[in-house]
Amino acid sequence: MLNDYTTITADAVTNLTEEALAVADGLVEAATTAEPTYAGVMGRLDEVADVTSRAYGHGAFMARVHPDADVRAAGLEAEERLTKWGNDLVFRRDLFEAVSQLAATEEAQSLEGTQRRLLEFTLRDFRRAGHQLDEVARKELQRLRTRLVELEVEFGRNLDEFEDGMDLTREQLAGLSDEYVARLKPAHDGRYRVSMEYPDYIPFIQMAEDRDLRRQMQFKFWNRAALKNKPLLEEAVEIRRNIADLLEEPTWAHHAMEVKMAGAPERVEEFYESLVPGLTVMASAELEVMAELAADEFDGPIASWDTNYLDTQLRRRDFGIDPDEVAAYFPLERVVEGMFDLTGAVFGIDYERIENTAAWHPDVHLYALRNRGQDDVIAYFYADLFPREGKYGHAAAFPIVYGRTLEGDGYQTPVAAIVANFTKPTADSPSLLKHDEALTLFHEFGHILHFCLTTVEEVRFSGFDTEWDFVEAPSQIMENWMWEPDVLQRFARHHRTDEAIPADLVTRLVAARDLNEGLFTMRQVFLGKLDLGMHATANPVDLDEVYRSAYEYTLLPFHDGTFFPASFGHLMGGYDAGYYGYLWARVYGDDMFSVFANEGITSPAVGNRYRNEVLATGGSRDAMDHLRAFLGREPSSDAFLEKLGLD
């Protein structure tokens, strides 16, 4: 089940992709010519899903992580090839007829559980692919879908390959620690290169004292790949609008949200309307406090390149929190150990680091998961946590092999990968995580657990393949443990002295959790509104106007000359008409964590129930049913609103 990535080449990526698609073609051919039985049709289609998903994990995934540019390029071609093939699959008339014939049989009427769900979802896929339309309209729909895939792949490639930065003197880096500066790459004339990679950019925008340099750096960061990606995004938004027209949907958002918890953009707008007034009051008050602090440093209104810097200053002034001081207690290896200890105890898991990783880079670690006290491996995951040239630039969890029931007997072992860009250790210092970076690690590990602890029979519903506006909930809940003093003091230890993080520092860190929560949540609203502004209208849109209009929710002056959406990968990476899901899912994540808060934040009993009712069940039932089963009641927004201060 584990792949040997050490020998992978560009040709190997291409070959394994073509071989997988040849197998998939054979399975589809058999499904369309066999007797219309569940095993003959749906069973084969689930096998197709397994074959193509493994081809992605063993080949196309290399586009995101492999150090060789040729392999990455082959991976992108493979990703496009697989996505187009999967896109074309639902347009096949012979397959539609085979599934329709099955649906009309007595066997289909007697199906239960995930088998009935798989048939229903597949029929829904065909309807969404326009099989109710005439042939001309179907062909046009297929053409538009294919072009959309091409645009999304090219958009991601441009972001991954983009490089820029600023060469600065030590004096210009005032406010940044010596450790930060020592990690920067050298530039000409004794200067230091501050790149667009997160370990360089985020501390700079948070702590650099030179305001104009912060402005210049943000200008560059918000314009990454803008020249290439803006026209791609414009074309994609127009194509999505045209697809909605063909399917007689009011907007692309209505089409996209049909398969999500929200159901329609009107519900999302209602969700925002319930939050924005209160958040606006909070954020306005927070800006007033920032303005008082900023008055000693500069004249004029606070700008977008000031808020993170002023937030850092306020944490130092009011709570005595220095991000570098906190990071000294969060060496990456300790955080990983603490994360394993916590989740191991709560969810009944043992972790083992595998020495012979056969991974794509020496920095990558491989871990096995077992049920506590048992010998059988139930899942594996890779951890690729440091930046390098050409690598995926954010943090995310990727599927490699989906868990599924095997024909005959047994269960296919899930394999996943967590990819991030934390500061790489040096000979003199380990990788030290800011607290928000540790939050990111816990967040992404929530996806890993969701994927790895699955027990679902079919690939379609395995792992984190649930409604897209629920998929972040198991990650949102994980962040809560990073604010619990009892949890932090178990593993946060100084990287030099090995002393536990002082109780007073933990108290101050937790007390500062809600500092400027209004401002930062309004940024999430801005991103969601930006997405909706592009996709929840039936009319052609001017992306510059949509960007500027949505930006008003930040309550900050617009940063003229920037086009941030060109580097907003979510718009072209599956979160189109879905970015609201981060905030939406937080409601459910906070509600689920309230059970831990009430019954024991590290309670194995609660953890076991959460594992069985939410993590293990994937998309095998509606997310609302997961919630009811775990909570023992109807879901509530009370915990979410209380945390925001809006209860």
Judge contact between 242 and 143, C-beta under 8 A.
no
Nearest to 535 by CA among 270, 154, 275, 242: 242
Judge contact between 584 and 475, C-beta under 8 A.
no
Nearest to 450 by CA among 614, 583, 635, 630: 614
- In 159-283 the beta strands, taken as DSSP E runs, fall at 165-168, 185-186, 192-195
- Sequence-distant (6+) residues with CB within 8 A of 439 are 479, 482
Judge contact between 551 and 531, C-beta under 8 A.
no
End-to-end Cα separation, the chain, in angstroms? 48
CA gap 195, 389 in Å, rounded: 11
Report residue 237 CA to chain centroid gap: 21
Q: What is the Rg, in whole angstroms, of the alpha carbon atoms belonging to the chain?
A: 25
- Sequence-distant (6+) residues with CB within 8 A of 337 are 491
Q: Is 375 exposed, middle or buried (0-12, 13-18, 19+ CB in 10 A)?
A: exposed
In the chain, what is the greatest distance between 2 CA atoms, to the nearest angstrom?
79
Q: Is 142 exposed, middle or buried (0-12, 13-18, 19+ CB in 10 A)?
A: middle
197: region left, alpha or beta (phi > 0 left; psi from -120 to 50 alpha): beta
Residues 579-599 as b/e (b if ≥16 CB within 10 A, e otherwise) read bbbbbbbbbbbbbbbbbbeee
CA gap 10, 28 in Å, rounded: 27
Handedness of CA 509, 510, 512, 514 (dihedral sign): positive
Q: Which residue has 């493979």 as its token pair?
A: 78
* Three-state DSSP class for residue 520: helix
Known catalytic membership, residue 613: no
Judge contact between 222 and 561, C-beta under 8 A.
no
Q: Which of 77, 234, 437, 444 is catalytic?
A: 444
CA gap 443, 477 in Å, rounded: 8
Amino acid at 619: G
CA gap 520, 286 in Å, rounded: 10
From residue 583, how far is each of 306, 452, 520, 526 by CA, in Å?
A: 24, 24, 12, 11
DSSP per position, 52-101: HHHHIIIIITHHHH-S-HHHHHHHHHHHHHHHHHHHHHTT-HHHHHHHHH
CA gap 495, 61 in Å, rounded: 34
Nearest to 523 by CA among 478, 492, 467, 564: 564
* Three-state DSSP class for residue 413: coil
CA gap 639, 645 in Å, rounded: 10
- Active site residues per annotation: 444
